[in-house]
Amino acid sequence: MMEVSGAQARRQAIHEALAQAGGPVSATVLAKRFSVSRQIIVGDVALLRAAGEEILATPRGYVLGPRSAGVERTVACVHRPEEMEAELNAIVDAGGEAADVIVEHPVYGQLTGILGVRSRYDVQEFLKRVAADSARPLSALTGGIHLHTIRCADEETFQRVQKALRNEGFLLDM
């Protein structure tokens, strides 16, 4: 029988910690928990991904990949950068999660940013991170046009999210 190394055991423990977490877990928190550097955790997560684990890096930390329960749909939106907070609040207030943002770049093709925004608290934390890094939203590259993957508990909730986005003028009708 093959013996498990300390690094392999740590990677297994990282996966278990993410599976048990109620939300994102930062590399810094994991580093403290396992008494290693943040960079070791980043490398461990890269190796877990290479081994086929669905681990996403969100602005607030790592989460295990998409949940299979519920409804997951893509919506096309458009707005000015200063309307980003209102758009994200419309999604979460209606009961949805803004899982990601996707834009079509003329040189790089599809660019996806993982959001994992599920609550107003998540919206505020995301906006703080954008402000702290003086970052521009991906939609700034495409004149405000972008896609969001929306996750909801059920179809009724998704319809509520879609209606909220339409009412705010953010839904790009085809």
CB 64 within 8 A of CB 18: yes
Cα-Cα-Cα-Cα dihedral sign, residues 84, 86, 89, 90: negative
* Whole-number pLDDT of residue 167: 96
* Whole-number pLDDT of residue 96: 96
Could you list the pLDDT tens digit for every one of the 174 residues in the chain? 444 578 889 999 999 999 888 788 999 999 999 999 999 999 999 888 887 788 888 878 898 876 556 889 999 999 998 999 999 999 999 999 999 999 988 888 888 888 989 999 999 999 998 899 888 888 888 888 999 999 999 999 999 999 999 999 999 875
Q: 3-state class of 100 per DSSP?
A: strand
| Helix (H) or strand (E) run with residue 109 in it | strand 109-117
CB 157 within 8 A of CB 164: no
pTM of the model: 0.69
Tell me the H-state helices in the chain. Answer: 6-20, 27-34, 38-50, 84-93, 120-132, 155-167
Domains plus CATH for the chain? 6-64 (1.10.10.10), 71-167 (3.30.1340.20)
The three-point CA angle 150-135-113 to 5° equals 30
* Whole-number pLDDT of residue 137: 84
